[in-house]
């Protein structure tokens, strides 16, 4: 490929909106271009990377016996209505109607449709297990697209779906996909870790996310340095020492005046007590408008994802002024005693005396003890933080890192087959529901995550397996006939040896060419220059190392092809 004819130019400066280093490099190196918020076009260089990433995913899916197929982007409403997701997904999906007024959704994902097909194609337990997958554009009207390709509104996802006769079979399929994911990400050069995750909108119980730790990520991951516990903060828990004080020996709650002291910070300052001495009582409103109170220690924050899961709701908001009166409380002075709403007590609240709001203006109560003075459902709804004890080994102190979720796997069991009446005939001759799982990988997100984690201050440093080209051959200067003819002969020899070469034949200064080579980040740089040809040599340099090597022109093609063949595939 001649660089002079490449569609897509490198940018010396990145557009101001690009924030993360991966986003800036993606734009500068002509990998992709924005079309609208959260919608991107792959330029030829980026598309070559995307295709290589896809191919790695494909090979690893095929290796575990999954079969590739393809389902449409446009999906009919009736099927979504069977599982209730037509309404549930309303806020974040793109929809349209055809000329007859029939409703369609730009596919958010394809569980409903693959179950429809499974029902038609898989009629007997003898045909199980099965895994099918496809690469398809998925549409998600994200409220906030972010950081280039990391969070977009239309993206190609590899989505695989497993069908098994029972739970044990599902666990096997799940484990097979888990293994395939580990190999897939390793081959792309991504150091992805498997973490426990919340099942979110997909339903089901068991789920793992594959997270690549990088500051550009938007998820927070708790990691135990002592054992193998790793979990998304939406799911993470912690070990808590039980702290019991005999209730009968303690004085009953007594009121203290706390004029205009409405926050934990203000209470700490005026009462000279640490945040842990207080109880925080949050009054919240769930999707249906029901009020609920959550009691937490003063130093703990609520984790909305965990709370939503506990409540089985899609949305949680803070209560408004009027809600406080209805709950028998006062904003700024809410406490757990005497509340007239459902009360949840976070498990990090100890059985010891706390200072809590009195539910009346300018007053708090001292010696408030959970279980003695107020009752509620015990839940886990607090945000785990740095330094908390690992819930698994109970001794490791959790660290918290940011990560990008490049893939996830769910075992949802019969969630969809029950709703859709998707069954097969079992060994005993009766209809049984499929046990299913789904397994996604975002292609574009993976590509940008590779950039986020493989670059230096000059540009991208592609892992060879996914690089847009294997060799970047630079002719210097290109208008020197001898240089040009020898460079082109070398390009030709390399291409015949099936090496992918980007040939920089542009009439540009050496500085521009080297800077672009560093920016684009092709693993091997070969320079054919007038200077080196005097000694009959060409220069070979790896993008990832400083050293360069001189090779006689006559052996260059063989040498370069040998290096390329030695790379992992």
Partner RNA sequence: CGGGGUGUAGCGCAGCUUGGUAGCGCGUUUGGUUCGGGACCAAAAGGUCGCCGGUUCAAGUCCGGCCACCCCGACCA
CB of 340 to RNA, least distance (A): 26
State yes or no: residue 155 binds RNA (CB under 7 A).
yes
CB of 531 to RNA, least distance (A): 4
Binding positions for RNA, 430-449, rule CB under 7 A: 440-442, 444-445
Strand partners, 342: 292
- Of these, 60, 268, 405, 504, which contacts RNA (CB under 7 A)? 405
Tokens of 418: 């029950």
Select from 135, 137, 183 the least CA-distant residue to 38.
137
CB of 163 to RNA, least distance (A): 18
Select from 146, 153, 196 the least CA-distant residue to 305.
196
For RNA, the closer CB: 368 or 540: 540
**480-509 b/e with 16+ CB inside 10 Å = b?**
beebeebbbebbebbeeeebbbbbbbbebe
Q: In what order do the strands lie in the sheet with 363-368?
A: 254-257, 363-368, 354-357
State yes or no: residue 203 binds RNA (CB under 7 A).
no
CB of 271 to RNA, least distance (A): 29
Binding positions for RNA, 305-334, rule CB under 7 A: 305, 308, 315
CA distances from 207 to 210, 305, 373, 381 (A): 10, 15, 38, 19
CB of 564 to RNA, least distance (A): 20
CB of 525 to RNA, least distance (A): 7
In degrees to the nearest 10, what's the CA dihedral of 483, 488, 491, 497?
-120
Select from 202, 193, 206 the least CA-distant residue to 235.
206
CB of 77 to RNA, least distance (A): 20
> For residue 549, what is the enclosing H or E element?
strand 548-552
For RNA, the closer CB: 50 or 118: 50
- CA dist 517 and 326 (Å) reads 66
CB of 148 to RNA, least distance (A): 7
CB of 390 to RNA, least distance (A): 22
Q: Binding marks (x or -) toward RNA, 471..490, rule CB under 7 A?
A: -----xx-x-----------
Neighbouring C-beta atoms of residue 10, cutoff 10 Å: 17
518: left (phi over 0), alpha (psi -120 to 50) or beta: alpha
Q: Is the peptide bond before 129 cis (omega within 30 degrees of 0)?
A: yes
State yes or no: residue 531 binds RNA (CB under 7 A).
yes
State yes or no: residue 140 binds RNA (CB under 7 A).
yes
Tokens of 278: 């207080």
Q: Map residue 351 onto helix, strand or coil.
A: strand
For RNA, the closer CB: 127 or 532: 532
Strand partners, 39: 36
State yes or no: residue 406 binds RNA (CB under 7 A).
yes
Contact 418, 115 (CB under 8 A): no
Phi, psi (deg, nearest 5) at residue 272: 55, 45
Q: Which stretch binds RNA (CB under 7 A): 12-20, 72-80, 162-170, 221-229?
A: 12-20
CB of 177 to RNA, least distance (A): 12
- Of these, 78, 507, 549, 558, which contacts RNA (CB under 7 A)? 507
- Of these, 54, 103, 141, 219, which contacts RNA (CB under 7 A)? 219
CB of 194 to RNA, least distance (A): 12
State yes or no: residue 71 binds RNA (CB under 7 A).
no
State yes or no: residue 287 binds RNA (CB under 7 A).
no
Strand partners, 537: 552
Binding positions for RNA, 19-48, rule CB under 7 A: 19, 23, 28, 34, 36-38
State yes or no: residue 545 binds RNA (CB under 7 A).
no
For RNA, the closer CB: 309 or 364: 309
- Of these, 176, 369, 527, 561, which contacts RNA (CB under 7 A)? 527
State yes or no: residue 143 binds RNA (CB under 7 A).
yes
Q: Which stretch binds RNA (CB under 7 A): 5-13, 419-427, 460-468, 496-504?
A: 5-13
- CA dist 66 and 79 (Å) reads 24
**118-153 b/e with 16+ CB inside 10 Å = b?**
bbeebeebeebbbbbbbbbebbbbeeebbbbbbbbb
Residue 170: which residues within 8 A CB-CB, separation 6 or more?
A: 162, 164, 411, 413, 435, 436, 437
CB of 140 to RNA, least distance (A): 6
Q: Map residue 178 onto helix, strand or coil.
A: helix
State yes or no: residue 200 binds RNA (CB under 7 A).
yes
Q: Binding marks (x or -) toward RNA, 81..110, rule CB under 7 A?
A: -----------x----------------x-
Binding positions for RNA, 330-359, rule CB under 7 A: none
State yes or no: residue 511 binds RNA (CB under 7 A).
yes
Binding positions for RNA, 157-176, rule CB under 7 A: 157
Q: Binding marks (x or -) toward RNA, 451..470, rule CB under 7 A?
A: -------x------------
* DSSP letter (8 states) at residue 39: E
Tokens of 215: 């500051």
Contact 105, 93 (CB under 8 A): yes
Q: Which stretch binds RNA (CB under 7 A): 64-72, 364-372, 390-398, 405-413?
A: 405-413
- Of these, 1, 10, 127, 166, which contacts RNA (CB under 7 A)? 10
């Amino acid at each position: 490929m001649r660089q002079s004819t490449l569609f897509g130019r490198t940018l010396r400066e990145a557009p101001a909106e690009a924030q993360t280093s991966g986003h800036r490099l993606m734009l500068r190196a002509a990998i992709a271009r924005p079309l609208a918020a959260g919608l991107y076009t792959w330029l030829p260089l980026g598309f070559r990377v995307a295709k290589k990433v896809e191919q790695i995913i494909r090979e690893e899916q095929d290796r575990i016996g999954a079969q590739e197929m393809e389902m449409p982007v446009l999906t009919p409403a009736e099927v979504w209505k069977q599982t209730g997701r037509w309404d549930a997904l309303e806020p974040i999906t793109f929809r349209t109607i055809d000329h007859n007024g029939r409703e369609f959704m730009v596919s958010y994902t394809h569980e409903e449709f693959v179950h429809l097909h499974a029902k038609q194609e898989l009629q007997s337990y003898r045909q199980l297990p099965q895994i099918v997958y496809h690469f398809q554009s998925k549409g998600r009207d994200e409220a906030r697209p972010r950081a280039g390709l990391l969070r977009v509104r239309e993206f190609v996802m590899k989505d695989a779906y497993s069908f098994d006769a029972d739970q044990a079979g599902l666990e096997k399929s799940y484990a097979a996909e888990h293994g395939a994911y580990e190999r897939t990400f390793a081959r792309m050069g991504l150091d992805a870790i498997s973490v426990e995750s919340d099942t979110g909108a997909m339903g089901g119980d068991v789920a793992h996310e594959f997270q690549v730790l990088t500051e550009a990520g938007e998820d927070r991951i708790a990691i135990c340095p002592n054992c193998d516990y790793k979990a998304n903060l939406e799911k993470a828990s912690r070990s808590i020492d039980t702290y019991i004080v005999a209730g009968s020996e303690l004085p009953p709650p007594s009121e203290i005046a706390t004029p205009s002291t409405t926050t934990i910070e203000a209470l700490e300052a005026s009462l000279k007590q640490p945040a842990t001495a207080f109880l925080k009582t949050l009054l919240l409103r769930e999707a249906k408008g029901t009020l609920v109170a959550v009691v937490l220690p003063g130093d703990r924050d609520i984790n909305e994802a965990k709370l939503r899961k506990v409540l089985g709701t899609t949305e949680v908001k803070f209560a408004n002024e009027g809600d406080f009166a209805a709950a028998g409380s006062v904003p700024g002075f809410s406490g757990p005693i005497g509340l007239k709403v459902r009360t949840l007590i976070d498990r990090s609240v100890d059985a010891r005396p706390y200072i809590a709001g009195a539910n009346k203006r300018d007053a708090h109560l001292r010696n408030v003890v959970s279980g003695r003075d107020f009752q509620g459902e015990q839940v886990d709804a607090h945000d785990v933080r740095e330094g908390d004890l690992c819930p698994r080994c109970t001794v490791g102190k959790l660290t918290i890192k940011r990560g990008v979720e490049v893939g996830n796997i769910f075992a949802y069991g019969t969630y969809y087959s029950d709703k859709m009446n998707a069954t097969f005939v079992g060994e005993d001759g009766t209809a049984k529901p499929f046990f299913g799982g789904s397994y996604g990988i975002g292609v574009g997100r993976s590509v940008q995550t590779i950039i986020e984690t493989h670059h230096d201050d000059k540009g991208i440093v592609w892992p060879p397996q996914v690089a847009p080209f294997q060799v970047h051959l630079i002719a210097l200067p290109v208008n020197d006939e001898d240089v040009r003819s020898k460079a082109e002969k070398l390009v030709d020899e390399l291409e015949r040896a099936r090496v992918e070469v980007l040939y920089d034949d542009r009439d540009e200064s050496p500085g521009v060419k080297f800077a672009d080579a560093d920016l684009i980040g092709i693993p091997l740089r070969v320079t054919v220059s007038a200077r080196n040809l005097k000694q009959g040599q060409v220069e070979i340099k790896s993008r990832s190392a400083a050293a360069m090597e001189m090779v006689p022109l006559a052996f260059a093609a063989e040498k370069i092809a040998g290096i390329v063949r030695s790379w992992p595939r």
